[in-house]
Amino acid sequence: MLKKIEIEKLRLGMYITEFCGSWMEHPFWNTKFVLEDSSDLERIRDSGIRELWIDVSKGWDVEGGMSASEVQARNENELLAASVEAQGPTPRVTASEELMRARKICAAAKQAVESMFKEARMGHSIDTQALAPMVEEISASVMRHPGALVSLARLKTKDDYTYMHSVAVCGLMISLARRLGLDEATTREAGLAGLVHDLGKAVVPLTVLNKPGKLTDDEFRVMRGHPGAGHAMLLEGGGAGEIALDVVLHHHEKIDGSGYPHKLAGDQISLFAKMGAVCDVYDAITSNRPYKAGWDPSEALRKMTEWTGHFDTGIFHTFIKCVGIYPLGSLVRLESGLLGVVTETKPDALLKPVVKTFYCTRRRQRFIPRLVDLGKPNVRDRIAAWESRDKWRFPDIDEMWTDNRLGGRA
């Protein structure tokens, strides 16, 4: 029998089934387990969670609390007592506004995904349904601003690449699914697929996964086995939908049939696997890896355009509309000779983002950063080209676009 109790009544030996509140308020990605570790008990008590559900048929009981039927009756009474108006679509906010919330989501998601990978390494089954609240938070962030969370997740370190890569691909899949006009339920499934697409890397030795140099043929063979390994994990855990199973297994397939593991080509590859291929590669090549520094977002899109036979053309073009021609963090040169970093994108004006200018190439000197909205009628400056970060090597580029409080505005 399920019972809802206050956090103060929680004891070792109880079987937890659900925490009441946002998944970001507690440190566990899986909420169904027997509480056996005293350190876990302290972590729960120190979190923001005030109530939780236990199953007294699988663990210790406690006096007090409320049964499921009692909770349902209370909730029904509260609904009858209040008139709740239907909410409309989540309004889009600015990048700077969403970045504040996205930082918290990314931090919590990174911790949860890292915990999930550790569970997988220990051979424990993965219940994908436990990831639904995380996908919901990421989806809400992407709805408020499509580029904030995925751009922030791109700033991963070499040590947390695998975990933050999963978070970023989840956000990209959700954004792409919405742009393709998929319904919300399918969009959530696509996001979940992105979150677990690299689960099979949990069984790849860290010496191979984080190797700074080129992989040997044997090491590459091991790496290429991660789609099949992840697929097997999801099948064993049960509960994974067809979309997640398909993306995990086929996100490395290519349109020309040169991918793996099954060398599928063209229409043999599903819509979702094609989506996964684009999202996976984009985040991978724009992120710092153990063996290579990431490319600038605009540079990455240009190079991906040149890879004939790799991606589905229609899906890739839709993806460009999602992230923008000049995504957040892109280093660009204006016609005036000023260098700037893109701090805000506009879905209806891909060539006219808001940029933070900070360097004059003609005078070869920096100045106090200033925000310039290229879409305003009185602003005649335009983007002349994207610029390579490797060429200029400014150490604080990412700080400039993640903190819009600096500088004035034009």
List beta partners, residue 354. Answer: 344, 373
Output the pTM of the full model. 0.80
What's residue 67's pLDDT? 72
The pLDDT tens digits for 13-50 are 998 887 776 655 666 767 778 888 888 888 888 776 77
Query: Residue 85 pLDDT more than 80?
Result: no
pLDDT, tens only, 48-80: 677 888 888 998 888 877 776 666 555 445 434
Q: Quick check: 51 and 17 in contact, CB under 8 A?
A: no
Q: What is the pLDDT of residues 324-352, one digit of tens each?
A: 888 899 999 999 999 999 999 887 788 89
- Cis link prior to 89 (omega < 30° from 0)? no
**Integer CA distances (angstroms), 382 to 321, 325, 335, 354, 368, in order:** 19, 14, 6, 11, 20
- Is the pLDDT at 10 greater than 70, yes or no? yes
Q: Structure tokens of 267?
A: 């229409």
Output the pLDDT for position 81.
42
Chain segment 196-231, per-residue pLDDT in tens: 999 999 999 988 888 877 788 899 999 999 999 999
Q: Residue 6's closest CA among 58, 59, 54?
A: 54
- Cα distance between residue 400 and residue 341, in whole Å: 7
What is the end-to-end Cα distance of the chain in Å, rounded? 62
Amino acid at 223: M
* 102 SS3 class: helix
Nearest to 274 by CA among 241, 308, 314: 314
Q: What does the alpha-carbon distance between residue 20 and residue 51 come to, in Å, rounded to a whole number? A: 5
The size of the chain, in residues, is 410
Domain 95-323: state its class: mainly alpha
Q: What is the Cα–Cα distance from 87 to 334, expressed in whole angstroms?
A: 41
